[in-house]
Chains A and B, each alone.
Chain A
Amino acid sequence: DTEVTQTPKHLVMGMTNKKSLKCEQHMGHRAMYWYKQKAKKPPELMFVYSYEKLSINESVPSRFSPECPNSSLLNLHLHALQPEDSALYLCASSQEGDHTDTQYFGPGTRLTVL
């Protein structure tokens, strides 16, 4: 089973709202990732968690706050977003976070910021 699930599928929020995106995997993977993807562009890495610790933050604005409560769950907390933050947010997981891994992606959350 190579399934990564994400909720919600769609999210519309105002610039003053606080919302969270959720990602879950049950493959026993120890690395989890958040990517942001604009239309017709490749995904851009935002954060990497390895063994439940934040290992990479690609200089993402603080209005995005990741959280890894356990090895199967990854959250992305959103606060005071801007309209330009509207995008598809993809979660991925891999075995160890090593370059030899294959990353498996979830279906994404399409976020619209009004």
Chain B
Amino acid sequence: AQTVTQSQPEMSVQEAETVTLSCTYDTSESDYYLFWYKQPPSRQMILVIRQEAYKQQNATENRFSVNFQKAAKSFSLKISDSQLGDAAMYFCASRTSGSRLTFGEGTQLTVNP
């Protein structure tokens, strides 16, 4: 079984600053995929970034980047130059072969002007 843990139920950041959201996972598999999804008040789940476990290079998408520490089973999300539109619930998720997409409990991010 796999588990995903987000230890920060809530985070806040000032506009234009940088914030890092934490995520740890536990799996015995070597082949797995990691995701960060964003869910704003509109409630649509939007893919932010995806990381393949076999890739050593950290994934980046514009202002969003991850710090993937495979040995530590850590997958944190860094948001640079935070914008008001980044305010949302962020879910970390993982999936291994033959399993479901497993979500963490989420981190509610507030962006202060």
Contact = CB atoms under 8 A, between A and B. Distances in A.
B104 A42 contact: yes
A99 B44 contact: no
Interface stretch (A67-75, A77-85, A103-111): A103-111
A14 interface: no
Interface residues of B, number: 27
A interface, by DSSP: helix, strand, loop or mixed?
A: loop
Contacts of B84: none
Interface residues of A, number: 21
A103 B101 contact: yes
Nearest to A45: B100
29 contacts: A2-B47, A41-B105, A41-B106, A42-B105, A42-B106, A43-B45, A45-B100, A45-B101, A56-B100, A88-B43, A90-B45, A99-B31, A99-B32, A99-B95, A99-B96, A99-B97, A99-B98, A99-B99, A100-B33, A100-B52, A102-B47, A102-B50, A105-B46, A106-B44, A107-B42, A107-B43, A107-B44, A108-B43, A110-B43
Interface of A: 2, 40-43, 45, 56, 88, 90, 92, 98-100, 102-108, 110
